[in-house]
Structure 1
Amino acid sequence: MATPTREQVIERLRTVKDPELHRDIVSLNMVKDVAIEDGRVRVHVELTTPACPLKEQIGGDVTRAVKAIAGVRQVALEWSANVRSSRGPAAVLPDVKNVIAVGAGKGGVGKSTIAALLAVGLQRDGAAVGLMDADVYGPSIPTMFGVAERKPAVRGERILPIDAGGISLMSMGFMVDPDRAVIWRGPMVHGVIRQFLDQVEWGPLDYLIVDLPPGTGDVPLTLAQSLPPTGAIVVCTPQDVALLDARRAVKMFQQLNVRCLGMIENMSYYLCPNCNHRDELFDHGGVEQAAAALDVPFLGEIPLNADIRRFTDDGRAAATFAETRDYVRDAILTMVRSVAGQISIVSAEAEAAPTLTIE
């Protein structure tokens, strides 16, 4: 029987492409180790995100490619993940690999809920995640995570974020009385966002999610000028009135040279828990159509569901993944992994971009 070699395995793995990045896994440096013993081949594959939506497909492609080598009797896969940075060397938040803004054209579409679920989903998959509540006029993130009564500690000149189940949080809600209205002009808003970026000890993060205020005001401009972010997500409900403002939000990010990672349809449909009757209260499919018209990715649809509302109201956002119905959890996981996939694409493009070296 022929004895397979490491070189043969590597050559076969060059035929396996990441379906999203459209490059082979060897050139993407995803193959970290190959071991061969008595016809048994072990391949260590390092994914570009722990929330990889195509892990099973990649695994199947690797197995088939290696099994085609004469003498291979068995293929075993070992997995790990290393989130790639899309930002390169950065003066602001140098230890944060990816910054994702979550925005909406108007309020009331569930933007903060989506930001919270995205943070929880990425963290559950194994990523280091922070969540910055930049919705200074209506900070709701502390309530969703059950930490509204806590106050951030200060170490020297640095503010320490609140830890909520392994997610680092910072919010205006920690700084002001919950019943007090924040009535600020643009320069004051700019100042607090800069403080959250410059003075909070975020530490090393794979993803920092930034929950923006609704609309097209000062905060997105400050964020874009300060970082810039990896990209932005626009949350919308499917009815026409909301879509008008969502399109403006996408255009705003494009004008700010912030890549739109995609759009999410929230409150997409309601499924009766008693009879399974489906009702599309706010219409359905409008966000996917708008995303296609704007040439941005569609990242998924989240149903209108009482569990999501109850868990976030009760400060148990993480319970949405563990204690809700399968179709709700599956929809959220699809959204989380679609976002992670888009970020991996941006990171791969950043790594492949030419650099100018002056000697």
Structure 2
Amino acid sequence: MERIFKDSLGKIIDPHLNKNLIDAGLVHEASLVDGGAHVSLHYPYPANSAFEETATEIKSQLRGAGLSKVEVKMTINIHPHVVQGGVERVSGVKNIIVVSSAKGGVGKSATAVNLALALAHEGARIGVLDADIYGPSLPLMLGLNKRPQGGEKGGIEPLHAYGMDVMSIGFMVDEDQPMVWRGPIATRALTQLLRETHWNDLDYLVLDMPPGTGDIQLTTAQKAPVTGAVVVTTPQEIAVSDAQKGLVMFNKVSIPVLGVVENMSMYCCPQCGHEASIFGTGGAAKLCEKYDVDFLGGLPLDPSIRIAADSGCPSVVNEPDSDISRRYRNIAARIGARVAQKARDRSLAFPKIVKGD
């Protein structure tokens, strides 16, 4: 019977790890139960959607091998992974993923928020930090207009939206008040928001970065324990050229790039269904090929994404069964899988030794 499990499960490929279930280490238990089979899968990345398809395939394979009753269960256990050297980890956060674009206007913030929501939908505990001190957008996109409260022992309690911890400098100031701060003050504010917020045992904290390659980005590289970066671009040459600068910046500061997302890849006319590549084609794919990073997926230019974000109810929540939401969830699962393939940080498994007097 072990042969049946090996042959059957060895034929099924995980769509995001690109390995069969056995080689990917996903099979925690496979046993015979009253003439049937029980299979338990442990996923190291948020994989609710992948599990549904995989469970169906497992049942089909094992029933074809003569096992009449097949039960498949899954658990998701996301571990902390290595970060750049010499940076202290953030309490309550396993992994930090920065979503960045060196150029403004490419839809990075909407992408970051929807990817965070998609990771939560796929089974992860998520937080979002608005790292754009000068132009915070999370309060509007998530429909939050409250002020955070201080914790009993100091620090800041995050706000909550759609099951996520959320923090932004935009919660601290009036909506029409500009942040007229010099770089050192802005970076100090970001560091405080990152380290003094009481994050609640998050699998991933998504940082929505401001455009550019300046003070905020350098501070993040020096003071935030970043697991990996996601670069957002649009297909046109000028955006790809700036995205390239951002990608090179991450390489220089030893932050691995998990992949590139191409936003506004195509426009589909809602009246006739005609598709048009308004901003060109293939820009992100060429960038990925040049720097040997993963192309995580493309997203359409669709007014509904903007409308949903402006209303405080982003696409993944507003239309969870739409094609756009499925695209976000697929990209989010790929990001989680890329993180899972990195080396684990096992230092947290050991207690800190404190020298006495």
TM-score range, shorter chain: 0.7 to 0.9
Write the distance in 2 (CA, Å) between the matches of 1:265 and 1:93: 30
Counterpart amino acid of 1:79?
M
Write the distance in 2 (CA, Å) between the matches of 1:117 and 1:108: 16
Write the distance in 2 (CA, Å) between the matches of 1:206 and 1:302: 25
SS in 2 for 1:101: strand
1:245 to 2:239 alignment: no
Write the distance in 2 (CA, Å) between the matches of 1:8 and 1:334: 32
Match of 1:228? 225
Residue deviations 1:84-118, cap 9 Å, x none?
Answer: 22148984314312110000011111110101001
Alpha carbons 1:311, 1:320 under 8 Å: kept: no
Displacement of 1:279 in angstroms is 1.6
Map 1:97-136 to 2 at 5 A: 97-136=94-133
Write the distance in 1 (CA, Å) between the matches of 2:247 and 2:25: 33
Residue deviations 1:253-279, cap 9 Å, x none?
Answer: 000100001111111111111111112
Instruction: Give the paired residue count.
Output: 344
Match of 1:192? 189
1:312 to 2:309 alignment: yes
Match of 1:182? 179
Map 1:316-335 to 2 at 5 A: 316-317=313-314, 319-323=315-319, 326-335=322-331
Write the distance in 1 (CA, Å) between the matches of 2:304 and 2:344: 39
Counterpart amino acid of 2:40?
H
Write the distance in 1 (CA, Å) between the matches of 2:23 and 2:297: 30
Distance 1:323 1:65, change over 3 A: closer
TM-score (ref. length: structure 2): 0.86
Write the distance in 1 (CA, Å) between the matches of 2:15 and 2:280: 32
Displacement of 1:280 in angstroms is 1.3
Write the distance in 1 (CA, Å) between the matches of 2:321 and 2:204: 27
Alpha carbons 2:118, 2:316 under 8 Å: kept: no
Alpha carbons 1:53, 1:341 under 8 Å: kept: no
Structure 2, unaligned stretches of length 5 or more?
Answer: 350-357
- Shifted more, 328-337 versus 287-296: the winner is 328-337
Match of 2:136? 139
SS in 1 for 2:263: strand
Match of 1:81? 76
Displacement of 1:75 in angstroms is 3.2
Match of 1:259? 256
Distance 1:25 1:84, change over 3 A: farther
Match of 2:353? none
Displacement of 1:186 in angstroms is 2.2
Alpha carbons 1:20, 1:345 under 8 Å: kept: no
Write the distance in 2 (CA, Å) between the matches of 1:143 and 1:188: 24
Alpha carbons 1:66, 1:72 under 8 Å: kept: yes
When the two chains are superposed, the root-mean-square deviation of aligned CA atoms in Å is 2.9
Structure 1, unaligned stretches of length 5 or more?
Answer: none
Distance 1:314 1:28, change over 3 A: same
SS in 2 for 1:282: coil
Counterpart amino acid of 1:138?
G
- Shifted more, 129-138 versus 283-292: the winner is 283-292
